[in-house]
Amino acid sequence: MYRQPESEPVGEPEPVPEAEPVPDVSVIIAVYNAMPYLTACLESVLGQSLDAGRMEVIAVDDGSTDGSGAELDRFAARYPHLRVLHQPNSGGPGAPRNRALDLARGRYVFFADADDHLGPEALQRLLGMAEAEGSDVVLAKQVGIGRTVSEKAHRHAPQADLYTSEVYRSLHSAKLMRRRIIEEGRLRYPEDLWYGEDQLFVTSVYLAAARISVVGDYDCYFLRRRDDGQNLTSRTRTAHETVAHIERVMALVAERVTDAVGRRRMLGRHFRSLLRTALRPAVAARHGDPAFTAEVYARARTLVETYWTPDMGGELPRIDWIRLYAFACGPLPAFEQLMEYDPAEEPPPRELVEGGRVYRCYPLFRDPAAALPDVLFDVTDTLKAQHRLASMTWQGRRIRLTGHAWIQGLGTARMESELALRERETGREYTVPATAGPAPELADRGPGLELAGFRADLDLATVAGGDPLPPGTWDCFLHVRADGVTRTVRLGRRHAPDLDRTARRARVLARDPDGATELAAAPFFTGYGNLSFEVVRRIPLPTG
């Protein structure tokens, strides 16, 4: 007969080990002789408003001899989420960062330099942006302590395009980066470079990122110039060390970026770097170390011949474009003279207006020995019109607009302007001359703006060649002219603080002879704050 087998005695189940929680962010700190700044760095990282359970900190002591290693161990004894590793000196930050990356478990990583520190809410805000936007890279607004940082790169932006925004100005490692894209791309810091190694790594991460964001509304990261002058970037460099990272990052961009705008902008950023961080020290060393200068010049010239295209000129400040052209095509003494010229220490260069073009007369303009083309000094297309709408008042069917406008770099003595109404659908335009007048609100802006004021009386009942303005949406522009140069600006967004921009009552422009319909116009300000007029044909409204 079949017997039911006896069951096993029931006891306590074997405990299943809980999976170790994955931290949201791994903060990586490469440390070499960073005292006493290391203490403030660790306090700022370990004192973040982000819950300690959501982060891990990995600090790698790269053979410090100043007590940095002992300081790390002291903090590690108090903070269980701080892991400290010690290794012989590798010569640069790449190797310790890579070792920490190999051990990191966080969904994101953030790199901090041991002599810098974070704002108390930095990681919480960076992670909040990343999670809200699905970002692969989030830039942290930087504050320079004794050094400059790029304000343009750190403008607040939930989404920032790599090619059209200014984020590529920032190649410092202090960013929140999704670890998955780093591991999928097998991205690591080059360990044979100690200078500029972050440019190669960060560029690779940027190119792998599907979405980039910027936390620009909070001081996240404080970038320090050390009082003892021991920042790594202050170390003396050989000619190879001065140029090698630029050569490699330019090659990376040229190989990986096919978008024409992106390639131009990214390479343009590195040509700016070539002038400032490679060619400038080479010029300074030409008498004391001619071999250094000769090697930097030769390798820089190869970069220009390989990657420079004429459309990159707009990516450089004007004086840098002139310098680079002189380096590549002009006599070498001309280039060296231009490199020694410091615009910040000299009076602003005068501007020459000739044939409707404006030339900024930097040194060597039309110097026969330098033979630099006039087009390098032509700034006509970069001049912007400054403007403001001050008042808008009705006088019957007329509307009077006042304000000021001028073209930067050009005086107002020969300035004239006219108001333009442009139909949004068709682009047809009607214009009314504006009368020049004084602009007392510009008295503190310097001489030359005495007649920058304007007044335009717009009769909407006759502006269309003696007829009323036809039905439609009409946007308001101002054409500003001086010395043969014209700039057109949209009027209204820049306005006086007391300008009334609330909804205004429509004014009747004309009525049909039989009184069946009437033409009415009402000014309004668009979502961008610009002035427009809506003209409609309607049945007359009852009066009284």
**pLDDT tens digits, 406-427:** 898 787 777 889 999 999 999 9
Q: What is the mean pLDDT of residues 385-389?
A: 92
State the number of CA atoms in the 13 A half-sphere of 38 facing the CB. Answer: 22
DSSP one-letter code for 4 = P
Mean pLDDT score, 126-138: 98
Task: Tell me: pLDDT of 356 over 90.
Answer: no
pLDDT of residue 4: 40
For the chain, what is the largest distance between any 2 Cα atoms, rounded to a whole number of angstroms?
Answer: 120
HSE-CB for 271 with a 13 A CA cutoff: 34
Per-residue pLDDT band at 500 (split at 50, 70, 90): confident
Average pLDDT rounded to a whole number, residues 76-103 = 96
Q: Is residue 432 within 8 Å of 457, Cβ to Cβ? A: yes
Is the pLDDT at 13 greater than 60? The verdict is no
Locate 370 and state its tokens: 């330098």
Q: What is the pLDDT of residue 9?
A: 44
HSE-up of residue 509 (Cα within 13 Å, Cβ side): 27
Tokens for 53, please give them: 């359970």
CA distance 403 to 491: 10
- The pLDDT of 490-500, averaged and rounded, is 92
Q: Are 146 and 61 in contact (CB under 8 A)?
A: no
Question: In terms of pLDDT, which residue wins out, 408 or 68?
Answer: 68
CATH architecture, range 385-502: Sandwich (2.60)
Q: With 60 as the cut, is the pLDDT of residue 64 above it? A: yes
**Residue 129 dihedral angles phi and psi, to the nearest 5°:** -65, -45
The DSSP call for residue 277 is I
- Residue 15, preceding peptide bond in cis (omega within 30° of 0): no
Are the C-beta atoms of residues 407 and 415 closer than 8 Å to each other? yes
Taking the C-alpha atoms of residue 453 and residue 247, their distance in angstroms, rounded to an integer, is 51
Tell me where in the chain the CATH 2.60.40 domain(s) lie: 385-502
What pLDDT, on a 0 to 100 scale, did the predictor assign at position 231?
54
Quick one: pLDDT at residue 396?
76
- Tell me where in the chain the CATH 3.90.550.10 domain(s) lie: 25-232
The number of helices, as runs of H, and strands, as runs of E, in the chain is 12, 22
> For residue 444, what pLDDT is reported?
77
CA-based angle 97:101:102, to the nearest 5? 120
Q: What is the dihedral of CA 535, 538, 542, 544, to 10 degrees?
A: 10
Backbone angles phi, psi at 142, to 5 degrees: -105, 150
- Amino acid identity, position 338: L
- DSSP secondary structure, 54-82, as one string: GEEEEEEEES-SSSHHHHHHHHHHH-TTE
From first CA to last CA, the distance across the chain in angstroms is: 110
Task: For the chain, give the number of residues.
Answer: 544
Q: Which of 167-181, 222-236, 426-440, 529-543 has the lowest mean pLDDT?
A: 222-236
**Can you give the pLDDT at residue 7?**
41
How many CB atoms within 10 Å of residue 241? 14
pLDDT average, residue stretch 58-67: 97
Q: State yes or no: pLDDT of 18 exceeds 80.
A: no
What's domain 25-232's architecture? Alpha-Beta Complex (3.90)
Backbone angles phi and psi of 264, in degrees to 5: -65, -45
Q: Is the pLDDT confidence value at 475 over 80?
A: yes
pLDDT at 447 over 80: no
